[in-house]
Structure formats: structure tokens, C-alpha cells
Amino acid sequence: MPVRAADAATDKIGRFNRLSASQANTWEDCPRLWWYQNKLRLKFPQTPPLFLGRAVEETVCRVFMESPGMIFYQAPADVMEIGADFLLPLLDDEVPDTEEKLLLWCEKRVDVHWPIIRDKMHAEWQKHARKGGNWHDYSMQQYRDMCVTATKMHIGEVIKCMQEVGARELTMWREGHKLEIPAPDTRSKEFDRHPLARYGECTLVEAWEIARPWFVDPDAPDFSLNVVHPEHWFQGEYDLVYRHCNSLRIMDLKASRGGGDRSGNYVEQLRIYAMLWSITHDGQIPDALEVWYLGVEVRKSIPVPTAAEIDIMEGKLKDLWSEIKETEITAEDCPPIPRPLRGYSEGGVKIEDPKENRCDTCDWAGLCPNGTGDDDLPAGGEYEKPGDIKVYDLTPFNDLQPRVDIFCEIFSIKEIDFGPPNIMIQQNDGFAHIKIIHPGDEDNPSYPDGLKKGDTVRLEGVIPSTNWKGELQLKVDPHARIVKSSSPGESDIGLFDFRARWNVAGRVCYTTHKTGIGKNGKPWARKGVVLIDDTGRISVEGWDNAWPSIFNTLQQGDEIAVLNVSLDAWAIDVKANLEKGSSLQILSRQN
Ligand code: SF4
């Protein structure tokens, strides 16, 4: 089974605390790099190839989901939305019956899907606050061609299936037998005979159906198709799992040419996937592992680990999980000791290791002691603004309190068709709106059923702010909830007793920039800066025109104070908002 969900009854770890192959690789690359990216959750620049790679993968998966036995090459991109059960098989003379015609069909289907998915990813990249690079520096034709290359490689599997499929496998498929977790083909009906089944030798279209690998359904929710280790400390997600002709092979798609250090990580990633498969399949070891470098049309074979190697790998990864995820870890536990860069040429071919240092191109060199930074980070204290007699208390990030608990009465509640109700609460003579952004789920709802006017409730961990009309608003996110209660709790405060303004100081990691179009049709822009101090990280955000021009000169490693900010939060992320009266002060410059 390419998917293994966590067992909610026994999972005490949770999906955000599991180890993944990419985290394990980052740790091996450099423990301090892991600290910055995983513990402080700093985001490296989101460049176009990251989004184009996802666009290639989605395009390929959408073509694999379709069938040349049911879909004309000119069909619209959303033709599968109706479901394969409701599509009629094409006539024999309408389906591709040679390898060349099948490749042409794939190419045409790529050309139907690619422009839509490419543009969707372009829009996603454009609105990303941490986008980097220039979209137009990349050849869209090359990425489109990579999609065609992937389908060409897949056709190799289809041909192999057509030539080698055994009588039993073919008959079973024709009789409608399905694997426990079938490849995503949008079919849900049971049938005695597959609608595309023929008689005699396996046809090309039948081979396309039988060889269809398991892949991540592009329409599935995030995380839903992960494979979770039975003890819940590890999770991964395969790209392609081929299961035809009694051969189990795991492939990974890479929209790249395969040169450079990262190709070393792919080797480890595939071997870890072999481990995961073996652990979740009673010790079955995949027959092959391959990286498909779509930029150079190379299928690189990765040595499959033995059972003994899998045991060692599992032990090491479990130890790593215990070391970095199970226990509270500090920056000192993550030394800035990078491993040497590994040399790979196109197609992931191992060559001599380069002389350069990993730190030379590291995104965090301006923060790290091995670059131009140090570990002597700001830690609260006081700040005297030049020309101002006032002394400002600077709060360490860990001590910021964006959340409050409040005991109050429901003043009004209005059910709406879709989504959580509009609630207004009252405490003494004060009123506030409740903004439920995260309604929770059946097992863990963020507000109780049947709330009515006059009920008394406790608002736990809600985030106070003011809306555009200046009214008090209490936000309910994944870490907040409303519970019915007849009396206040010890931590409860008055409706207006929360601290509205804070002063913070930290070291600049990077700036962010978001733009969009508001409901009124007007464009908006927000800028932000991500800061770290000795206790953690926060982001500070404000409207584009609220920042002084000095904001545009901020560099990684500079230290700044931002005074009189309000607080906001989403789950574990704390955000400071630049408000009227807030100010930005430069404390020191990196250089
Ligand atoms: S600069 Fe070097 S030591 Fe520091 S995080 Fe980056 S790779 Fe690691």
C-alpha cells in the first residue's frame, strides 16, 4: 500500500513532529542549517524552479490519470472531473495502437494541461511573500518538454507491461480486480469486466491501464497520501510506485538535469523510501529504485538496500528523530558543521567532489557563526530611542503573549449557510466579535454545537485585535477554542485588559513582500521582516506604505527594534503588526 495513515488512537507524535527524508538530509548537510530551516522555520527563497517542478509533477500525474482508451487527445483538461466510470470507451480505430501514436497522445495531453498548471503555479509564486528570482529567466518550453519526457519514460513501462504481463495479472485486471490502494484513475464502481478490457494479447491501452503507477492524486488534500511509520515518527510520500509484472519499483521525478550536490540527497531519499516500504509491507523490499531526471531524460538506478541495511537505516533515523524531534533542542545542539559538497554531473553521475564550501552558497550565512553571523542574538532588554526620553522595554519573542482567555456571555449568534456562525460576545458593558477562522473538525471542534444567546462561555487562547471599524475582534485559530462554562477560569482577563502594544528587537533573517487585489478591486501590498532573537522567531508585517523607507535597506544580519506593534498569531507562529504609531529603529548593521 503506497499510503499508510497515522493511527489517530495511538499517534502521540503528530504530523508536524515526524521526521522526513528531506529533514534527515538537511541535518546531514549541516545541523545548523536544519536548525534555521526546521526549528526556526526560516524559508529559503522560493525560486521559480521549485514551483515549476511542482507544475511538471502535477501535469504528468494528470496525464497518467487519464486514459488513451477513453479520452481524445483534444479533450478539455477537466474531462476527468466527471469520473472514469461515466466516460465511454473509444472505438478501436480511435485509440493509439503504436508507441509513436501513444507518445503523440501524451504530448497533446501535456499541451492541454501544462499551460493551465504552469499559470496556476506562476500565480502562486507571484503571491508568495518569500519569492525569489525572476520567472521569465526560465524557459517554459524546457519545463513543458520535461513533462513529455516523463510520459515517454512511462511509455517504456507500458511497453514492458504489454510484452511481459502474465496471463494471471491480465485476466485479473480484465475481470475488474483492483489493488487495495489502486492507482488514482477516478474509477470507483465495481465491475465484472473492465470497460477497456479486450480479448487475446494485451493491447497497448490495456497495458497503459495495468502499468499505471500509483502517484499522488493532485486533487487530494495535503498530507492525506503520506506513508506514516507504524510508530509514527517518520513520514514520506512516494512520487511513482510501479506494481505491474510482479515487480515493485519506486521512482522519483526530478524536474532538473541532475548535476550538483543535491543529487546525493536523492540517493538517500530513495533508499529511505525503500526502508519505509519494507517496514509497512512485512519486510518486502522494492525490486528497484530510480530517480528520473527529466531535464536530461535519464533514469538513474539507485542501489536497493538489503534487509540488514534497512535495519541499520531505521535505527539511525529513529535515533535522529529522538535527538532532534523528541527532545527539546537548542542552537548549541546543532553545530555549524556542514558536510563537504558532493560532486555529481548531469543525470546524477558521481564525479569528483568540488573544492567549494557548502557555506559559500548557504542562505543563512549572514546569520551563522560559520558565515558572517554569530550566536550572540538579541534577548529583550531596554531601548532608548535617540532624542526620546522614553525607555522602551523589549520583550523576548518567547514572552510575547498574543493570546488571552476570557469569560463572557453570548450576546448574539447568527448561523450562516456555509462556515461557522457570526458571534458577538458581551462582558459587563463591553462587546466583541468572534472571528472563527478555524472551525476544527468533528473530533476537535473549536466551538460547541448549540450555542445560543445568554450562554456563558470561556474563550481559550483567542487572539484580540481590532477590525477596520475599530471594533474589538477575538480570533479563533487552530490553537484557540470556545467552551461552554458557568464560571471563569484562573487565567481569564477582562475584555479590554489585554496588552495592546509591544516592543521587540531581533536580527533580520529576510524581508517579505506580498501583493494582491482586495474585495473592493483595489490592489494592496504588505511588507514584512522575519526576525530571530535568543528565544525564537517572529515576523513583523505592515502595509507597504506604513514602513519607513529605511525598511528597503534591511539586510540579513542587521539588528532592528520595532516599537509599539500589536500582536497576531496563527498556531505556533507569532506575528507583530506595524500599526499607526509603530516605528522601526536600526540597532546595528551586519556590515
Ligand atoms: S553557513 Fe555553513 S555552517 Fe552555517 S548553516 Fe550554512 S552551511 Fe551550515
Residue that has been written with the C-alpha cell 466510470 in this structure = 85
Q: Which of 26, 28, 32 should be mutated for ligand 1, with most atoms under 8 A from CB?
A: 32
- Cα–ligand 1 centroid distance for 31 (angstroms): 8
Give, using CA atoms, the residue closest to atom 7 of ligand 1.
359
The atom number, within ligand 1, closest to the CA of 30 reads: 8
Give 10-residue mean pLDDT values along the chain (591 residues).
Answer: 82 91 97 97 97 98 96 94 91 93 98 98 96 97 98 97 96 92 89 92 96 94 88 95 95 96 96 96 96 97 97 97 94 96 97 96 97 96 88 96 95 88 92 92 85 94 87 93 94 91 97 92 95 97 95 97 95 93 94 75
Which domains are delineated in the chain? 1-44+226-371 (3.90.320), 48-218 (no CATH), 391-398+499-588 (2.40.50.140), 402-484 (2.40.50.140)
pLDDT, tens digit, for every residue of 98-141? 999 999 999 999 999 999 999 999 999 999 999 999 999 999 99
Per-residue confidence (pLDDT) for residue 1, from 0 to 100:
67
Cβ neighbors of 280 (< 8 A, separation 6 or more) are: 1, 4, 227, 229, 230
Q: Are strands 391-394 and 456-466 parallel, antiparallel or unpaired?
A: unpaired
**Residue whose C-alpha is closest to residue 437's, from 540, 569, 526:** 569
Q: 476 with 458: CB under 8 angstroms?
A: no
Ligand 1 neighbours, Cβ below 6 Å, are 30, 32-33, 336, 338, 358-359, 362, 364-365, 368, 370-371
Q: What is the pTM of this model?
A: 0.92
Q: Which of 37, 359, 360, 590 should be mutated for ligand 1, with most atoms under 8 A from CB?
A: 359
**Residue whose C-alpha is closest to residue 109's, from 119, 101, 97, 98:** 101
| 415: three-class secondary structure by DSSP | coil
Q: Say what the alpha-carbon torsion angle 441, 446, 448, 452 is, to the nearest 10 degrees.
A: -130
Per-residue confidence (pLDDT) for residue 591, from 0 to 100:
75
Residue at 328: amino acid letter: E
| 102: three-class secondary structure by DSSP | helix
Distances (CA, A) of 530 to 203, 271, 533, 556, 561: 57, 35, 10, 10, 12
Q: What angle do CA 399, 402, 406 make, to 5 degrees?
A: 115
Beta strand extents in 248-287 (DSSP E only): 249-254
